[in-house]
A and B are shown apart, each in its own frame.
Chain A
Amino acid sequence: MSLLEIRDVTRRFGAFEAVKEVSFGVEGGEFFTLLGPSGCGKTTLLRMIAGFDLPNAGRILLDGRDLADTPAELRPIHTVFQSFALFPHLTVAENVAFPLRMARVPDDELKRRLGEALDMVHLADLADHYPHELSGGQKQRVALARGLINRPRLLLLDEPLGALDLKLREEMQLELIKLQREVGITFIFVTHSQPEALALSHRIAVMRDGRVEQLDEPSRIYGFPVNRFVADFIGNCNLLEAEVRAADEGGLRLAVAGLGEVRAPPDGVSKQGDKGLLALRPEQVGVAGEADPAWGNRFPGTVEDFLYIGDVTTYQVRLDNGFRLQALLPNAAAGRARFFDPGDRVTVGWSGAAGHYVRET
């Protein structure tokens, strides 16, 4: 049995359905992420789990017990808000100790646990400061310590890193992973940043328009997107309309209009006549002056543009049939921004084991 179970949960605002029959389970100790574009219902779902809002239909169970009749203050679930929501009239120590006070923890135990919690997030020196005297990262850590101090069954984090600048964001990501591993508390993390989701999570639920489109481990979400939306939303992706011409253990033979036959890895379910998409990550696509014999698929084209990013360069290649493909090449040799110039005639290609056939379009 999952720690948290969401069963066919629907939430309507008037005629508008913000969350539509969502179902999934979250396991104990998991770092679970809700990922999706703005307005897809992440916060709405989180508020129902926390108890600030109730579903119009469906059930939410914690340890198998329906939470419908449990008000937010009695749920062993805490939230870290995007704005941190620290109490401005309380010191860091008073903020962090707040949940213990509410639980009427005796003073000596409170002191001990407060000390531990402040140490955990390296805030012992700032115990007597007020929130307005803290930096963004420090506020974030206070909010985390406050959310974790009385060991909830579940910690909900609604874009907790959204208010931080990029550098701090990356630092806090590492701290979050470490913290979650140390305390072993289940995290449900909300973000609309896909790199963040990929970096932090054990599993990701990709949401769109109130539905979960795909729920899987980060590498599978990235490697095997189930539809165009997921493929497009997670990282960059070349998407080619394709029809299955033949399927066997060796792989799929796809007909891509304008390119002819393209080979793709087997997926075990698709059969002849299926229509879908071929998803190719830019790093799976190679560019060469000469056709590389290792490539199962290769096509001539012209370099149109390139984007130098530092460690890698992205090339945009226009195939002779008019398709545009993105290819990502590492820049292992220092001081070199590109191998090809716009206008160069090249061959692009990829191995028959690369790419992924997406059944839904």
Chain B
Amino acid sequence: MSGKPDPRHTRPRGARLTKWVVTAPPTLFLLAFFLAPALIVLVASFQYPGEFGGLAPITNPGDGREHGLTLENYAFFFSDFLFAEIFVKSFTVAALSTLACLVLAYPVAWLIARSPRHHRDLLVLLVILPFASNFLIRVYAWMIILGPQQAVAQAVNGVLALFGLAPVNLLFSPFAVLVGMVYVHLPFMILPLYTNLEKHDPVLLDAAQDLGANAWRRFWRVTWPLSLPGVFSGSALVFIPVLGMFAVPDILGGTRDMLIGNLIKDQFLGVRDWPFGAALSILLTLAVLVLAGLAAWAARPRGAT
């Protein structure tokens, strides 16, 4: 080697190396833990079910068993209107849960963001504290809270009785499912909202007020539009897990309330029809991707935030 390396050349090469070092781990991570499993599921959705669960082979094993690829799983989905109904119901539950989470989380996130700086960490900790106990236990707790002998049900039915209405059962109802979903996912809405709201420059609200905006319009003209990125990420963090959730409807919804999550779980663990379960998963993923695409388009970046 002769002479010193020309800094003009080493700098970009160094930068390129840095770029690789920085981007390689997430890339590998995504390949290993997202793309590969997704591909396996995709392939499985075109296979036949194995005799005792699992998958039938793709290549001919030579013993007369079913083998190869098929569109049957997808055909089955579209052959029965029931499945589409479950999809619609699941998306409705997910949308309602997201909306309820948003309405409940926004004031909480706003209050945390407004509170004195040295209180914020503590408040955030309180938001995530429930994660310290087991998820199933927390959901079962709602079974007790919503039970017919408990104060909540008594109060609701007491009010209904005043209007001469028949008592209702809170537990094992779509309402209980919704409550459970909202409860479980609320922190996932609060945290991104808080992270966003905390960054807002308070002088913008002063400016809006100064220029004639009352509290209501300051919120809708300034705070809300500036918080949209937080709203979207929070909504995604609630909406998508709610779609796949089966434990909450299992515990709080009783047997009548089947959502996609339960349907898919049943294919793998109950009916042992893996390929149909895989096809359902793929359809669900596609539906979510389409929705996410629409949301991204609706929220396409305009001004910087």
Residues of A within 8 A of B226 (CB): 88-89
- Is the CB of B303 closer than 8 A to any CB of chain A? yes
Interface membership of chain A positions 59-92, coded 1 if the CB is closer than 8 angstroms to chain B and 0 otherwise: 0000000000001111001110101011111110
**A130 partner, pick from B208, B213, B214, B302, beta carbons under 8 A:** B302
Q: Is the CB of A99 within 8 A of B303?
A: no
Q: Is the CB of A87 within 8 A of B210?
A: no
Contact flag A72-B304 (CB < 8 Å), given A85-B203, A89-B225: no
- Is the CB of A301 closer than 8 A to any CB of chain B? no
Q: Is the CB of B210 within 8 A of A72?
A: yes
Residues of B within 8 A of A74 (CB): 212
Task: Tell me the count of chain B residues lying within 8 A, CB to CB, of chain A.
Answer: 21
Q: Is the CB of A73 within 8 A of B212?
A: yes
Q: Does more than half of chain B's interface fall in helix, strand or loop, or is it mixed? A: helix
Residues of A within 8 A of B201 (CB): 83, 85
A74-B215 Cα distance, complex, nearest whole Å? 12
**B303 partner, pick from A103, A132, A150, beta carbons under 8 A:** A132
Q: Is the CB of B213 within 8 A of A73?
A: yes
**A72 partner, pick from B204, B209, B305, beta carbons under 8 A:** B209
- Is the CB of B138 closer than 8 A to any CB of chain A? no
Task: Tell me the count of chain A residues lying within 8 A, CB to CB, of chain B.
Answer: 29
Contact flag A81-B206 (CB < 8 Å), given A90-B303, A130-B303: yes
A91-B221 Cα distance, complex, nearest whole Å? 13
- Is the CB of A323 closer than 8 A to any CB of chain B? no
| Residues in A110-167 with C-beta less than 8 Å from chain B | 130-132, 146-147, 150
Interface membership of chain B positions 288-305, coded 1 if the CB is closer than 8 angstroms to chain A and 0 otherwise: 000000000000001111
Distance in angstroms from A18 CB to nearest chain B CB is: 18
**A73 partner, pick from B204, B210, B303, beta carbons under 8 A:** B210
Q: Which of B211, B217, B303 has the most CB of A within 10 A?
A: B211
A150-B211 Cα distance, complex, nearest whole Å? 9
Distance in angstroms from B191 CB to nearest chain A CB is: 22
A131-B226 Cα distance, complex, nearest whole Å? 14
Residues of B within 8 A of A131 (CB): 303-304
A146-B204 Cα distance, complex, nearest whole Å? 13
Interface membership of chain A positions 37-79, coded 1 if the CB is closer than 8 angstroms to chain B and 0 otherwise: 0000000000000111000000000000000000111100111
Residues of B within 8 A of A98 (CB): 208, 211, 213, 221
Residues of A with Cβ closer than 8 Å to B?
A: 50-52, 71-74, 77-79, 81, 83, 85-91, 98-99, 102-103, 130-132, 146-147, 150
Task: List, sorted by A's number, 25 A–B pairs whose CB atoms are closer than 8 Å.
Answer: A50-B210, A72-B209, A73-B210, A73-B211, A73-B213, A73-B214, A81-B207, A85-B201, A85-B204, A86-B207, A87-B221, A87-B303, A88-B204, A88-B303, A88-B304, A89-B302, A98-B221, A99-B211, A102-B213, A102-B217, A130-B302, A130-B303, A131-B304, A132-B304, A146-B211
Nearest 10 pairs of A and B residues by beta carbon: A102-B212, A85-B207, A130-B303, A132-B304, A99-B211, A89-B303, A85-B203, A89-B225, A79-B210, A72-B209
